[in-house]
């Protein structure tokens, strides 16, 4: 009998027979631990609980209380859902992929005859529950690539066959539970009986492999948890998210719309939405000027040759639109950096002139696939609060920290918490290793000196340089990518940007690409959901509405309206011949901060009776006192 030594996290050693599994090791410690275990790390590798251990090494059990447990349960639940769908609909449905994602999982299905609808969810959930109660063993199997292709082809699973054919491997791993088999790396829970708390949540379309030229699949989203309490909390959060959906609120608040006549992903800003946008853009200009930025404006199209010089043509062409003028090719700008570099090159620069900080609220256009367009959060035409800082290498640290401080200030003003990530060189990139190392080290140093926590996101930098990404956390604790800081040694080289140094010689500057809010469209979508449409007073497109009780107060209501408007209050007048309660309810649905009610008493005393949007009444006050109150409250963000 061959014995192997297994070292546990506490340093203790367990001697077991070669071929014993992590489950067997757990049993030597206690039956309770074995029941709670769902997978393990063997010598640092994530494995199934029934994986044979063939040599001495380390072992760390993953229990239901481990941080990794939830993702494994969700991935296993995706297989359970696919098994249920196949049991219910058989050969009418083909399975494709089903990963765990943040907050849940999904599975994509193809069918020419079966159209999934939300009414199918209880049926599928019931079948999942039945399969879970059967407590089927979940078994891993490794077979040759050729045998796997033959297996799935015989099952009529064409999408699985395509996946396997594209794999560069001699063997592949499968997972079986009952009659269901799926292609997967794993790991999974050892038995379906461990999957007890799940809920199907929504449907969506998805192109096979994300390519709109491929077949449209049906994606069923779902979630799973280890206990019912966590599921209930999650479902309540989803319900709150549905109430806050910026597309729903954008329509209710009359902020923006989309039109197929105009084209997908192109926003039509209504008066109130345009006012909200203008408030944010005015704020941006003011804050940038305070921090030493200069305003610039670049053209919407630039010659294709420039996009080739920058590397965008080779690395970003699929996301761009092109046109031709007088037999000359032009690219519609997806970014603002090229024009800013041309402005810098328009005259000689000295080391004394640096840094220069160019800021532009630049509208750009990017070719996004129709399947990924999503309200304001993913559009084809949008405006960035884009800036480029051109500086000496010795100024990088101070400039990066300056941007980080800017981001912190703005996040606080809008009421967001945030997290930071450092993203490093991707496979598809330009520039030398030395430049990438220097740029990455500069960003890392600035982050570490700031004392702010950050995560490392390997391989997710821009094609021309590493970046710091800032993710805002909204009222529902969801993360949204907005601000970014990118350090670029490559484009200054390609565009021959120079400055004259203290030695009288030409030197190469560094360029920092950065946005604070990012896409204005996306940021407004996030704002709507963060505030649930109830914007703070300084952001509200309409700050107050004047309401009369009867026609006899209409003239005084008009007078109050004009007085407020002249004072700079964003105000509406509602003197329709409708009941006061109806007009108040409409104003509340529109989430207007203040309703100014005018009846006979107010007209007689030359006052107004303000009412908060939450229904709370205020004491009567003069119009001038209300104006002072609004001006003080609206300036609080400063």
Category of 408 on φ-ψ map: left (φ > 0), alpha (ψ -120 to 50) or beta: alpha
pLDDT band, very low/low/confident/very high, at 583 (cuts 50, 70, 90): very high
CATH number of the domain at 79, please: 3.30.980.10
Residue 211, judged by CB atoms within 10 A of its CB (0-12, 13-18, 19+), counts as exposed
- How many beta carbons lie within 10 A of that of residue 340, not counting itself? 25
CATH of the domain at 617: 3.40.50.800
Domain stops at, among 21, 40, 63? 63
CA distance 588 to 557: 19
Per-residue CA distances from 243 to 197, 532, 540 (Å): 24, 8, 19
The residue-averaged pLDDT of 431-458 equals 86
| 364 within a domain of the structure (yes/no) | yes
Question: DSSP characters for 437-450?
Answer: HHHHHHHHHHHHHH
pLDDT score, position 174: 96
Catalytic one among 337, 391, 482, 487?
A: 337
Mean pLDDT on 384-411: 93
pLDDT > 60? residue 100:
yes
Distances in Å between the alpha carbon of 365 and those of 168, 335, 343, 383, 384?
37, 8, 21, 9, 11
**pLDDT tens by residue, 528-565:** 999 999 999 999 999 999 999 999 999 999 999 999 99
Q: pLDDT category, 436, cuts 50, 70, 90? A: confident
**Is the link from the previous residue into 355 a cis peptide, with omega within 30 of 0?**
yes
570 and 448 housed in the same domain: no
Could you confirm whether 384 is annotated as catalytic?
Answer: yes
Q: Are residues 496 and 570 in the same domain?
A: no
The answer to whether 295 touches 285, Cβ cutoff 8 Å, is yes
Q: Report, as an integer, the average pLDDT of 326-348.
A: 95
Catalytic residue chosen out of the listed positions 127, 340, 388, 611: 388
Rounded CA separation 140/176 (Å): 7
Residue 479 and residue 512 share a domain? yes
Distance between CA atoms of residues 124 and 120, nearest Å:
6
Domain boundary among 508, 531, 554: 531
In a domain, 320, yes or no: no
| 309 is a domain residue | no
Q: Tell me how many domains the chain contains.
A: 4
- Pairing label, strands 256-257, 180-183: unpaired
Rounded Cα gap, residues 451 and 466, in angstroms: 20
Rounded to the nearest angstrom, the gap between the alpha carbon of residue 155 and the centroid of all alpha carbons in its chain is 37
CATH assignment at residue 8: 3.10.20.30
Provide the pLDDT confidence category of residue 270 given band limits of 50, 70 and 90. very high
Exposed, middle or buried by CB within 10 Å (0-12, 13-18, 19+), for 208? middle
Structure tokens, 545? 């509405």
Q: How confident is the model at residue 637 (pLDDT cuts 50, 70, 90)?
A: low
Domain termination site, one of 178, 210, 244: 244
Tokens of 101: 């994602």
DSSP 8-state code for residue 608: B
Domain interval for residue 374: 257-299+334-531
- Round to whole Å and give the CA distance between 548 and 558: 9
Active site residue 530: no
Digit-coded pLDDT (tens) for 140-187: 999 999 999 999 999 999 999 999 999 988 999 999 999 999 999 999
Does residue 86 sit in the same domain as residue 50? no
Q: What is the separation of C-alpha 358 from the centre of its chain, rounded to a whole number of angstroms?
A: 27
The rounded mean pLDDT for the chain is 93
Cα 537 to chain center, whole Å? 26
Is there a single domain that holds both residue 567 and residue 608? yes
Average pLDDT over residues 363-370: 90
pLDDT confidence bin for 435, thresholds 50/70/90 = confident
User: Which tokens is 521 given?
Assistant: 């469209």
Is residue 323 one of the residues assigned to a domain? Answer: no
Contacts of 138 (CB under 8 A, 6+ apart): 48, 76, 79, 175, 176, 177, 188, 189, 190, 191, 192
Q: Single out the catalytic residue among 219, 244, 288, 366.
A: 366
Single out the catalytic residue among 48, 108, 386, 469.
386
Tell me, rounded to whole angstroms, the distance of Cα 586 from its chain centroid: 32
Q: Which of 513, 514, 530, 570 is catalytic?
A: 513
Predicted pLDDT of residue 329:
95
pLDDT value, residue 124: 97
230 is catalytic: no
Examine residue 317 and state whether it is found in any structural domain, yes or no.
no
pLDDT of 260 higher than 80: yes
Q: How many CB atoms lie within 10 A of CB 201?
A: 17
C-beta contacts of 225-233 below 8 A and 24+ residues apart: 225/70, 225/73, 225/197, 225/198, 226/64, 226/69, 226/70, 226/73, 226/197, 227/197, 228/197, 230/197, 231/197, 231/198, 231/199
Characterize the bridge pairing of strands 356-365 and 294-295. Answer: parallel
pLDDT of res. 218 = 96
- Locate all alpha helices (DSSP H) within 199-303, ordered by sequence: 228-244, 246-252, 271-290
Q: Tell me whether residue 304 is in a domain.
A: no
Active-site entry in 83, 384, 395, 486? 384
- Give the pLDDT confidence of 472-512 residue by residue, as tens digits: 999 888 899 899 999 888 899 999 999 999 999 999 999 99
Of the listed ranges 64-78, 220-234, 479-493, 570-584, the least confidently predicted one is: 479-493
The pLDDT assigned to 1 comes to 60
Catalytic residue among 312, 467, 530, 570: 467
**Where does residue 87 rank: exposed (0-12), middle (13-18), buried (19+ CB within 10 A)?**
middle
Write the pLDDT tens digit of every residue in 12-61: 999 889 999 999 999 999 999 999 999 999 999 999 999 999 999 999 99
Whether residues 459 and 587 fall in one domain: no
* DSSP line for 385-449: EEEEEEE-GGGHHHHHHHHHHHHHHHHHHHT-EEEEEEE---SS--S-HHHHHHHHHHHHHHHHH
Please indicate whether residue 386 is annotated as part of the active site.
yes
Question: Do 43 and 152 share a domain, yes or no?
Answer: no
Same domain, 27 and 132: no
Query: What confidence score (pLDDT) does residue 335 get?
Result: 92
Ranges 16-25, 127-136, 369-378, 570-579: which has the least confidence: 369-378
Q: Is residue 427 pLDDT above 90, yes or no? A: no
pLDDT number for residue 359: 97
Q: Within this chain, do residues 16 and 103 fall inside the same structural domain, yes or no? A: no
Task: Identify whether 234 is a catalytic site residue.
Answer: no
Distance CA 141, CA 26 (A): 22
Write out 466-502 in H/E/C secondary structure. CEEEEEEECCCCCEEEEEEEEEECHHHHHCCCCEECC
Distances (CA, A) of 216 to 99, 129, 233, 394: 18, 28, 33, 52
Residue 133 lies in a domain: yes
Pair 481, 569 in one domain: no
Distance CA 524, CA 273 (A): 9
To the query of whether residue 482 is one of the catalytic residues in this protein, the response is no
pLDDT at res. 430: 81
Higher pLDDT, 222 or 207: 222
**Catalytic residue status for 366:** yes
- 215 shares a domain with 78: yes
pTM (2 d.p.):
0.84
What is the number of other CB atoms lying within 10 angstroms of the CB of residue 515? 21
Paired tokens of 240 = 């709150």
Domain match, 157 and 229 both: yes
What is the pLDDT confidence band of residue 211, given thresholds at 50, 70 and 90?
Answer: confident
What pLDDT score does 452 carry?
Answer: 81
| CATH code where residue 370 lies | 3.30.930.10
Residue 538 lies in a domain: no
């Amino acid at each position: 009998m061959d014995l192997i030594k297994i070292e546990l996290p506490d340093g203790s050693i367990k001697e077991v027979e070669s071929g014993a599994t992590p489950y067997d090791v757990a049993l030597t410690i206690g039956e309770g631990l074995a029941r709670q275990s769902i997978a393990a790390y063997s010598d640092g590798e994530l494995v199934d609980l029934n994986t044979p251990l063939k040599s001495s090494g380390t072992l760390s059990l993953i229990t239901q209380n481990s941080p990794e447990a939830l993702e494994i349960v969700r991935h296993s639940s995706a297989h359970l859902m696919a098994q249920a769908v196949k049991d219910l609909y058989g050969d009418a449905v083909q399975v494709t992929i089903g990963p765990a994602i943040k907050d849940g999982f999904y599975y994509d299905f193809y069918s020419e005859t079966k159209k999934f609808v939300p009414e199918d969810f209880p049926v599928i959930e019931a079948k999942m529950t039945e399969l879970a109660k059967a407590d089927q063993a979940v078994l891993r199997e490794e077979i040759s690539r050729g045998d796997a292709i033959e297996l799935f082809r015989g099952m009529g699973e064409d999408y699985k066959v395509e996946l396997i054919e594209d794999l560069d491997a001699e063997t592949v791993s499968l997972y079986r539970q009952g009659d269901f088999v799926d292609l997967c790396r794993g790991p999974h829970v050892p038995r379906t009986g461990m999957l007890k708390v799940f809920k199907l949540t929504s449907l969506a379309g998805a192109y096979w492999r994300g390519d709109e030229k491929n077949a449209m699949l049906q994606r069923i989203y779902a979630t799973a948890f280890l206990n019912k309490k966590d599921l209930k909390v999650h479902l309540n959060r989803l319900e709150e998210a549905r109430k806050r959906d910026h597309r729903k609120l954008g329509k209710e608040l009359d902020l923006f719309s989309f039109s197929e006549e105009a084209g997908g992903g192109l926003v039509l800003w209504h008066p109130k939405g345009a006012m909200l946008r203008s408030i944010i853009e005015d704020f941006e200009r003011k804050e940038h000027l305070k921090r030493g930025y200069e305003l610039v404006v670049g053209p919407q199209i630039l010659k294709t040759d420039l996009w080739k010089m920058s590397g965008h043509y080779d690395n970003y062409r699929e996301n761009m639109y092109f046109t031709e003028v007088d037999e000359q090719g032009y690219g519609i700008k997806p970014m603002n950096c090229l024009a800013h570099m041309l402005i810098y090159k328009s005259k000689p620069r000295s080391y004394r002139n640096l840094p220069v900080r160019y800021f532009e609220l630049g509208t750009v256009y990017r070719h996004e696939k129709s399947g990924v367009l999503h309200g304001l959060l993913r559009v084809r035409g949008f405006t960035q609060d884009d800036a480029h800082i051109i500086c000496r290498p010795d100024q990088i640290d101070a400039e990066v920290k300056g941007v980080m401080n800017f981001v912190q200030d703005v996040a606080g003003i809008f009421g967001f918490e945030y997290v930071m990530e450092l993203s490093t060189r991707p496979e598809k990139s330009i520039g030398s290793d030395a430049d990438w190392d220097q740029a990455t080290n500069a960003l890392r140093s600035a982050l570490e000196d700031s004392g702010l926590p950050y995560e490392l996101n390997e391989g997710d930098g821009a094609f021309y340089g590493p970046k710091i990404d800032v993710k805002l956390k909204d009222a529902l604790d969801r993360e949204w990518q907005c601000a970014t800081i990118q350090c670029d040694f490559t484009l200054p080289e390609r565009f021959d940007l120079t400055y004259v140094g203290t030695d009288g010689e030409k030197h190469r500057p560094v360029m920092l690409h950065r946005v604070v809010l990012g896409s204005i469209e996306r940021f407004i979508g996030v704002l709507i959901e963060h505030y649930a449409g109830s914007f703070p007073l300084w952001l509200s497109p309409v700050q107050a509405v004047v309401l009369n009780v009867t026609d006899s107060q209409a003239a005084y209501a008009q007078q109050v309206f004009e007085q407020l408007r002249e004072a700079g209050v964003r105000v509406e007048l509602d003197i329709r011949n409708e009941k006061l309660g109806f007009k108040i309810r409409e104003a509340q649905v529109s989430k207007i901060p203040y309703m100014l009610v005018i009846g006979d008493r107010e007209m007689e005393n030359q006052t107004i009776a303000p009412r908060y949007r939450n229904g709370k009444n205020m004491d009567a006050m003069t119009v001038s006192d209300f104006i002072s109150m609004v001006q003080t409250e609206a300036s609080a963000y400063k």
